[in-house]
Amino acid sequence: MAETLEGFAQRLRELRKNKNLSQTELGQLAGLHYTHIGRFERGTSRPSGDTLKRVADALGVAVSFFFEGLGD
């Protein structure tokens, strides 16, 4: 499970940066405080299913994007 969370965190950070968004901007798009985005990217917190969907929608990807190939 730790490697899945780590993989999610890495993909989230890379995608956010590729879209030239700050943590604050992504938080605003997803309706979250930027500190939540930071915690997700560091792997110190796991988003709920609803929150994960909001982040994925804000980034324009499917939720599955964050986990493809992880935990195989």
Instruction: Specify the 3-state DSSP secondary structure of 46.
Output: coil
pLDDT, tens digit (0-9, with 9 covering 90-100), for 10-56: 999 999 999 999 999 999 999 999 999 999 999 999 999 999 999 99
pLDDT confidence of 6, banded at 50, 70, 90?
A: confident
Please enumerate in sequence order all residues whose Cβ is within 8 A of that of 47, keeping only pairs 6 or more positions apart, or say none: 36, 40, 55
User: According to the model, what pLDDT value does residue 68 have?
Assistant: 79
